[in-house]
Amino acid sequence: MSAIISQCSLDVLRQAAENLKTGGLVAFPTETVYGIGADAENYEAIKRMYAVKNRPADHPVIVHIADLDAVDYWAKEIPDYAIALMRDFWPGPMTLLLQRTEKAKDFVTGNQEIVGLRMPAHTLALNLLAEFKKIGGHGVAAPSANKYGAVSPTNAEAVSAELKDYLEVRDLILDGGPSLVGVESTIIDCTEENPSILRSGAVTAEMVKESTGLVVMEPDHTKIRVSGSHKQHYAPMAKVVIGSAAKSGEGLIAMSDITTPNGAIRLATPQSVEEYARTLYGALREGDKQGLKTIHIESPTGTGLAVAIRDRINRAASLG
């Protein structure tokens, strides 16, 4: 059991940083989704975080950092194009996979030679990371704050609904309002000559190409394991069906130009792809809350952020 803290003053963030340093868990907001954080150098804390999530122990976890100083602590042999990406998109919804240093232990990298780093763009997250740094911390390992395979939480209430029964009294849930992006960070493999995108997100392939001046390659899935790339992921309890032909009593998520069939329950009516990304997970949760058996989703078309939204919808529908 663990309460939501909604007034996150600097004092609260200091206390949360102390909590991380002494092995506690802290759920915190980011601009993508909420994460459940542990000291990236504390094996026991990370083990407990995995247990809370019911996540397989050999899955790698993203290390969240306060500033660029921390990059060399965790990673080495950093290509120039990765520096360009950091400069252009950090803090922001982007995770870079880089060669690890000996500081990144097997329990964060999932026994791989690669570490995932991200500097999130949320004031609360950045201040928490800065306070953690002041007391000697180097990074906060944080997966999305949901049970393994479930929909990522985009507000503190959703974190609480997912994890409160599994957290200890000393653990904290920080409330920083709704996540403004709404889908998880773009994961970019920076260990080859060219970048490749392992998980799509708000930093799009077009943006990576523009920033690096390089061709974005197709990912080599035999080389790196990304848990969110498993077929069934980001899935609600309800059955997800792609298409807008919802029958009476079934849920519907679609852009605002699509009308709701008679008797169907409209769960989201986004007017832009940005709004679609921001509201998708909340709408899936709402469908589950209402006990709907089936949710129809009409995917957005086009490139950019729509690619990430379609990816998550396909996974929610187990179409991988």
Residue ranges of alpha helices (H) inside the chain are 10-21, 43-53, 69-74, 80-89, 106-109, 123-134, 156-163, 205-212, 273-289, 305-316
Beta strands at 172-174 and 251-253: parallel, antiparallel or unpaired: unpaired
Q: Is 32 in the site for Mg ion (CB under 5 A)?
A: no
Q: Pick between residue 43 and residue 266 the one whose CB is nearest to ligand TXA.
A: 43
Q: Which residues contact residue 57 at a Cβ distance below 8 angstroms, ignoring those fewer than 6 apart?
A: 47, 50, 107
Q: Pick between residue 60 and residue 287 the one whose CB is nearest to ligand TXA.
A: 60
Stretch that binds Mg ion, among 19-27, 144-152, 160-168, 308-316 (CB under 5 A): 144-152
Stretch that binds Mg ion, among 141-149, 218-226, 256-264, 269-277 (CB under 5 A): 141-149
One residue of 144, 155, 160, 211 binding Mg ion per CB under 5 A:
144
- Give which of 88, 67, 118 is closest to 209, Cα–Cα: 88
- CB count, 10 Å around CB of 160? 21
Run of H or E residues at 197? strand 196-199
Binder of residue 239, out of ligand TXA, Mg ion, none (CB less than 5 to 8 A by kind): none
Q: Specify whether the CB–CB gap between 146 and 35 falls below 8 A.
A: no
Q: Pick between residue 100 and residue 296 the one whose CB is nearest to ligand TXA.
A: 100
Residues that bind ligand TXA (CB under 6 A): 30, 32-33, 35, 59-62, 95, 97, 109, 112, 114-116, 118, 120, 142-144, 184-185, 187, 224-228
Q: Is 185 in the site for Mg ion (CB under 5 A)?
A: no
Q: Pick between residue 180 and residue 265 the one whose CB is nearest to Mg ion.
A: 180
- Give which of 235, 261, 268, 263 is closest to 249, Cα–Cα: 263
Binder of residue 33, out of ligand TXA, Mg ion, none (CB less than 5 to 8 A by kind): ligand TXA
Q: Pick between residue 202 and residue 255 the one whose CB is nearest to Mg ion.
A: 202
Distance CA 129, CA 67 (A): 9
239 token code pair:
């059955």
Q: What is the DSSP string of 279-292?
A: HHHHHHHHHHHTT-
Q: Pick between residue 115 and residue 292 the one whose CB is nearest to ligand TXA.
A: 115
Nearest approach, Cβ of 250 to ligand TXA (angstroms)? 28
x/- track of binding to Mg ion for residues 287-316 (CB under 5 A): ------------------------------
Residue nearest to Mg ion (CB): 144
Q: Which residues form the interface with Mg ion (CB under 5 A)?
A: 144
